[in-house]
Chain A
Amino acid sequence: MEHTLLELSQVGIEFPTENGPFCAVQDINLKVKKGEFISLIGHSGCGKSTVLNMVAGLNRATRGGVVMHGKEVTEPGPERAVVFQNHSLLPWLTAYQNIELAVKTVFKSTMSKGEMKEWIHHNLNLVHMTHAADKRPSEISGGMKQRVGIARALAMKPEILLMDEPFGALDALTRAHLQDSVMEIQEQLNNTIIMITHDVDEAVLLSDRIVMMTNGPAATIGEILTVDLPRPRNRIAMAESTDYYQLRSQVLSFLYEKHSKIEPLKKERHKSNRPEAVVSEAS
């Protein structure tokens, strides 16, 4: 049995708001094994980003705790690299320099200049972006930016890679392409990954387990679905697999029968609060 890398136990968080404390999520219990690929899926505003940010250390849980390697997570760190929803590359740096900043910071005492350079190029190559190394984010497409964002996170050699809707803002073709890239990379490096997604197919195709969240407020884990489809997975072969369809319909029935979103007014509020939610909804 592989050992547990990360454990969330009874995790919950309350945000202080004008109308008193707002409990976004509670009672989250999850164990993540090394090399596992986990998807978090749930309706917009249920608290997926909040959970991911607690694992990253960007938000601090107010109840329970996130434990990694037996130590509680209290602050962010490069061993828990994050791929943000909107790529969030630094616009004044080229693709190469964006990765360089991460590599120089994380490995300043363990790598020589030459090794760093090689490592940066290696990661650019991993996401097939070598040709655009010297381009600024404004000069490359959305999909390319997201690739560089993934390369930057991978370049930190994280123990766990956290991705917040990494492909949410991309068109279907580009998304498929990047999904293949991520599967390929994970097969090579055996990364541990937690990924937020809105896309049922994406979740089934990529994950070992799909964590389905109930609607907020006070959202929690509704069901966890184990995806035991053989790897490497091929999206075309999957399209003909009955197992795949069964898993897919289980997720769909969770989202749209058991926990369908019934409060449209509330949804509007989330949208206006968090503009990126609109983008992800549209996809």
Chain B
Amino acid sequence: MTTQSQLISLPSRLPRLLNRLSKRLLNVTAPLLGIGVFLLLWSAAAANIETSLGSFPGPQAVFQQFGQLWQEHSDEQVREQAFYERQEERNAARLAEDPNYEVRIRDFNGRPTFISQIGTSLITVLSGFLLASAIAIPLGILIGLNQFVYMAANPIIQVLKPVSPLAWLPLVTIVVSAVYVSDDPMFEKSFVTSVITVTLCSLWPTLLNTAVGVASIESDFNNISRVLKLKSLTHVRKIVLPASVPMIFTGLRLSIGIAWMVLIAAEMLAQNPGLGKFVWDEFQNGSSESLSRILAAVLVIGLVGFLLDRAMLWLQKAASWDKSQVLR
């Protein structure tokens, strides 16, 4: 029997090996090929589109634009450093003249660059997403645990869920200006508006998935909890929460995708600092370089969205106990 299986396995293993090798090769070449074709189509199409701002930029122009955007950013940084050095020198000189002089440090008021706008958008989206999760997960657990709460909340959720960020934004802006008044605000108003808009739009997938995850916990797990007479809070912590981790993460991943899309739209519409505002400013600017700068922003927006999704996937894999769940 052994010899027979060996006889079969030798020739049958070779094609399998080749198969695996070619699969791995395919994993590398297929995406590269896709990107190549895309770039070719883009160049070809770009050359044929004449706009009021000149010809549509191809990959090359956008690539060069990235260099320029980086250059602008470093220039701005040099200027900032120079500003503070000058200020320090001046203050030191005054202090030498008059020891009682009260030193005042003024902030550098530079133009936000492309790079700093990326940072702003990232911080905003993460804040909005964290706030959304902090609301959606506990609420989802409550809804999933209690049929009555579910029935009470369901109509409201179903109606609020599909509301576009563009509809929320004016409301949020006005309410924030009215309610969020303080002499020394911890956050900019525009930041608060963006964060709240992102939260309102992105909490729904997490909320619903958490609720479904909690409601569909295996009855055996609940029975164990009952036999052990676990207290409600322990029951949530030890059984409900871990059991619904896979569903919660499914929701979180959808949420962060929505959060990022909503944020860019909100920044454009409300002129709140961030990548969206960068795009809008360039659109208003209408110089010969605007198109390539916008395209650069579009690529970065896509890339950041992709990276956010990957980060969530990574977190999901790290937190998931269900190794049989296919994650991609």
Contact = CB atoms under 8 A, between A and B. Distances in A.
A90 B224 contact: yes
A90 B221 contact: yes
A27 B243 CA distance: 38
Contacts of B227: 56, 58, 76-78, 80-82, 156
A102 B224 CA distance: 9
Given A86-B220, A92-B245, A138 B228 contact: no
A84 B220 contact: yes
A77 B224 CA distance: 10
A109 to B, nearest CB: 13
Interface residues of A, number: 24
B322 A91 contact: yes
A75 B221 CA distance: 16
Interface string A78-121: 10111010101011110000000110011000000000000000
A76 B242 contact: no
Given A90-B239, A101-B238, A58 B223 contact: yes
A34 interface: no
A103 B218 CA distance: 22
Contacts of B223: 58, 76, 82, 84, 88
A106 B228 contact: yes
Given A101-B238, A136-B321, A138-B323, A88 B221 contact: yes
Contacts of A156: 227-228
A81 B245 CA distance: 27
Nearest to B242: A92
Interface in A211-244: none
Nearest to A98: B224
A92 B226 CA distance: 18
Contact of A105 (B221, B230, B324): B230
Interface in B248-274: none
Interface in B270-328: 321-324
A75 B228 CA distance: 11
A58 B223 CA distance: 7
Contacts of A80: 227
Contact of B224 (A57, A88, A106, A136): A88
A57 B228 CA distance: 12
B230 A88 contact: no
Given A58-B227, A92-B242, A136-B321, 5 more contacts: A77-B227, A84-B220, A88-B223, A92-B243, A92-B245
Interface of B: 218, 220-221, 223-224, 226-230, 234, 238-239, 242-243, 245, 321-324
